[in-house]
Structure 1
Amino acid sequence: MAENNDVVQLPIWLKEELFENVLRQHYEQFEKIICFKAIPGLNPGENYSTIMLRLLFEVELKDQSIEKVSYMLKTPHDFEMYREILKKNNMFVIERDIFLSVVPEIEQMYSEAGLDVKFAAKGYEIDAPDNYVLLEDLGPRGFKNADRLEGLDMAHTLSVLKKLAQWHAGSAARIALKGPYTQYYLQPKYGDSMREDIRPINVTFGNYLFKCLPLYEGYESYTAAVHKIQPKLIDLVHDMADPDPQDFNAINHGDLWTNNIMFRYDAESNAPSETYFVDLQLPKITSVAWDLIYFLLGSPQLQLKLNHFDYFIKYYHDQLIEHLTLLKYPTEKLPSLRFLHMQLHKYGFVGYHTVLVLCPPLLLDRTNDANLTDFVTETENGDDLKLRMYSNAKYKQHAGAILTWLHNRGALDF
């Protein structure tokens, strides 16, 4: 039976019987569960949006041998604002379907084309009374996150871009060859009902950025542009969910940053040998510019992301064309590198969104007291947390450099 844990609050519905069918899928000779324990799946301060649990099982097989296996369980926080959001946009139902149907279909397309490509952990279903996502635990296979505070080096960044190009190529080819996706959450304007719920959160983030703006290097040059784009940002971002058919569109991961990527390594090298995506709860069909800008301005090391941005786009484009061609995407529709850069310019506001929303938690020093409630609401603890997010030394360095770079490219002019 489930054991108490002093570190994390377990869902009251979490019972070992829920996982017997999953264990039967894993072990043909499954007999019974001997021991079940749930422990925190991530270190404190590494995930604001959900509760992550690692479920540890000892099972007995029919030959009386004992096996150990673990899974990762994602469950929602239990506070009113979060529950209200789930009523309009149930990210858990969406993410389960991505893992159970969308990912396997694209992987099968690559397999039929002669290439073994895997994007993510295997997903499972249980008869749970609340929202959840249940996945294979990648830890025993050697996968782990990179250090978000150090930023991704060249090898890690290229590994992500190759896998991202394969993902975009797969979903774009799926649409071109088989027709539009029918899932409700991949339809144009899905999630538009969330626009007004997110707007006050965006205002709050903007107020803290404005308060700390004079701390960032070169702020005099881009202050006016930042104040001009801030009130437009929510509409600009949400309008991307209604994709322009003239763009190069694909299923975007939607939240691609260091903690949502896992790497496996060869024993002889620090370079990753495999890259998987996690947290596929915010997918949307839109221009691939979203994932590219969000990832490249968020996760790589500071000097890499700015000094090598165009090289990274060229590398991604090479991989994209290679895999689109492999999957028999129509030749006349292949996007040129020039067209891709035009997409990045068209949607340059994603860069400001990245600085405003992603970089603050990404660059915050590890802390045990950070939580989603304080991040998105106006509380005394939340005030302290957000001030630390927008004024710490690492964020100031990144924000000043990225905002200057965006301003010089005209990417704040909206």
Structure 2
Amino acid sequence: MSTTIELSSIALQNLCQRYHELNHHSNQPCTFEVHSYEHSSNTDTISGFFGRHQILKLNVRRIDVDGQEHFEKLHFFTKSPIIEVDSHMDYIEEFGLFKKEVHVYREVLPELQKTFPNVAPKYYYADERLLVFEHLGDQEFRMGAERDGLLNYEHLHCRLKTLAALHASSIVYEVRCGRKLNELYPDAVVENAYPLGISETHVRSQNFNNANRVFVELIKLLPKYQENLDYILREFPQRMAMIFEFTQTSDKYLNVFSHADLWANNVMFQYGKFGALPQQSRLVDFQLARYAPPMVDLMTVLTIPTSSNFRKQHLSELLCDYYRFMTEFLKSEQLNIEDYLPRQEFYETAEKFRIVGPIESLLFSHLTILPPAVAQAVTSSANGFSDFFDAKRVGMCLEAFRTDEIYRERLTDMLEDLIDNFVLNIKV
């Protein structure tokens, strides 16, 4: 079965025209002749849990308004839903992943990046089957984490600057429009990761409950909790369920356009001459975007790719880094941060939303840091996907926990963070 999405001549024309407008800074109409194109990946396999990532190559003849000819070879990165596997497609449809990301790239990010442009990859084309972006790999961007999903201080510092730019652009845009983003673009920020009031049969309820079954079984294997095991097992799922409340649009605090999917691989870094220190970063995969207090994003990005020991040393400093970046971005647009995110509110929300970090770490990482062979089995077939997201998740994760040191150490650290600080000490 073919996994390549064919593009119509009109789609190719629109893609080339937008590429020309964004990269040549010209609104002059051009004529494009696409002599050939190739749309494929190196391995032609599913490359993400919910989407296929491929490369699009075009050989183009561009004719300007003055008749000048230009021959170009264009490179793009594409993302599409996995339409040939029914179990994937049903999940994506009910989850609302791809439709939301199309709204984000068509409607929201083009407006926000007019203020601070280097936040996300440029998008050139979007329809219900395909998103086409600039190919960040051609600009030497790459992921910064190893198999354990951890990032060091320099990578987090760089990532926080990009996140602050995204959040600040949201504030600037609302000031200029005089309206809230969730009023302007409701479909782009509807809460689809943790929607309130959903039934037990909804895919997000099923996914959340299946994840909690995994964590309960893992807790039973941790010797330090045997004395309080009954209490912990009773209280733990209730703490986890707080994520449904904390990710909603707030009636009390500042809300901003939020990425909401901030595990390590959803950011790409560009490095300097010697390749060690990241110089800038781009956020990718906006399929869970929401409108919420900035601290929800911030606690997620500072917890998922870090250890508890790292946070004891650096959390306060990294919070200060973010607030300084926000201050500078807003000041560049003649706005005072105290009018939008006062320092007192910032640290009040840091305390209130701290639990979001370990909850999101567990919900993301029990999947994203699975041993490579298990992850490949999950993503490469209908049975693997169904097994993990339904019947066999507990068994697969228990096996990984018993046999894989990285998985065991990382999940244990996350469980201990939540149990020690929010179950036994009940700091909520």
Q: Shorter chain as normaliser: what TM range?
A: 0.7 to 0.9
Matched, 1:350 2:361: no
Task: Report the counterpart of residue 19 of structure 1 in structure 2.
Answer: 12
* CA RMSD, 1 decimal: 3.2
Matched, 1:10 2:3: yes
Matched, 1:294 2:295: no
Which whole-Å CA distance do the structure 1 matches of 2:415 and 2:273 have between them? Answer: 39
Matched, 1:386 2:387: no
Q: Give deviations 1:348-396, integer Å, cap 9, x for gaps.
A: 33234223211123322322323243331214xx555333455432232
Of 244, 258, 261, which aligns to 2:267? 261
Task: Report the counterpart of residue 152 of structure 2 in structure 1.
Answer: 153
Tell me the TM-score normalised to structure 2 length. 0.80
Task: Report the counterpart of residue 38 of structure 1 in structure 2.
Answer: 40
Task: Report the counterpart of residue 166 of structure 1 in structure 2.
Answer: 165
Where structure 1 has 5 or more consecutive residues not aligned to the other structure, the ranges are: 111-116
Of 298, 306, 310, which aligns to 2:316? 310
Contact 2:370 2:400 in 1 (8 A): yes
Three-state SS of the structure 1 residue aligned to 2:287 is: coil
Contact 1:74 1:132 in 2 (8 A): yes
Three-state SS of the structure 1 residue aligned to 2:114 is: helix
CA shift in 2, pair 1:192/1:336, >3 Å: same
Report deviation, 1:180.
Answer: 0.7
Of 132, 139, 142, which aligns to 2:140? 142
CA shift in 2, pair 1:25/1:270, >3 Å: same
Which whole-Å CA distance do the structure 1 matches of 2:180 and 2:334 have between them? Answer: 17
The one-letter amino acid paired with 2:3 is L
Q: Give deviations 1:273-321, integer Å, cap 9, x for gaps.
A: 1110000111111122211221111113664244312221121122222
The one-letter amino acid paired with 1:22 is L
The one-letter amino acid paired with 2:263 is W
Report deviation, 1:64.
Answer: 8.0
Contact 2:307 2:413 in 1 (8 A): no
Matched, 1:50 2:48: no
Report deviation, 1:186.
Answer: 5.3
Task: Report the counterpart of residue 236 of structure 2 in structure 1.
Answer: 229
Which whole-Å CA distance do the structure 2 matches of 1:41 and 1:175 have between them? Answer: 43
Comparing 13-22 with 151-160, which one deviates more in the overlay? 13-22
Comparing 318-327 with 287-296, which one deviates more in the overlay? 318-327
Contact 1:306 1:402 in 2 (8 A): no
Which whole-Å CA distance do the structure 1 matches of 2:418 and 2:185 have between them? Answer: 35
Contact 1:321 1:334 in 2 (8 A): no
Task: Report the counterpart of residue 114 of structure 1 in structure 2.
Answer: none
Aligned length: 394
Task: Report the counterpart of residue 366 of structure 1 in structure 2.
Answer: 372
Three-state SS of the structure 2 residue aligned to 1:135 is: strand
Q: Give deviations 1:221-254, integer Å, cap 9, x for gaps.
A: 88534641314634x3233354223223211100
Three-state SS of the structure 1 residue aligned to 2:41 is: strand
Task: Report the counterpart of residue 120 of structure 1 in structure 2.
Answer: 120
Task: Report the counterpart of residue 71 of structure 1 in structure 2.
Answer: 76
CA shift in 2, pair 1:370/1:388, >3 Å: farther
Q: Give deviations 1:154-177, integer Å, cap 9, x for gaps.
A: 111100011111211221333345
Contact 2:247 2:296 in 1 (8 A): no
Contact 2:172 2:330 in 1 (8 A): yes
The one-letter amino acid paired with 2:129 is N
Contact 1:120 1:278 in 2 (8 A): yes
Task: Report the counterpart of residue 405 of structure 1 in structure 2.
Answer: 417
CA shift in 2, pair 1:405/1:336, >3 Å: farther
Which whole-Å CA distance do the structure 2 matches of 1:58 and 1:216 have between them? Answer: 58
Q: Give deviations 1:174-212, integer Å, cap 9, x for gaps.
A: 334532121123567674465641122212111122112
Of 92, 107, 114, which aligns to 2:113? 107
Matched, 1:185 2:187: yes
Identity percentage of aligned residues: 17
Report deviation, 1:33.
Answer: 2.5
Three-state SS of the structure 2 residue aligned to 1:156 is: helix
Contact 2:101 2:188 in 1 (8 A): no
Of 207, 221, 229, which aligns to 2:213? 207
Contact 1:60 1:67 in 2 (8 A): yes
Task: Report the counterpart of residue 388 of structure 2 in structure 1.
Answer: 375
Task: Report the counterpart of residue 382 of structure 2 in structure 1.
Answer: none
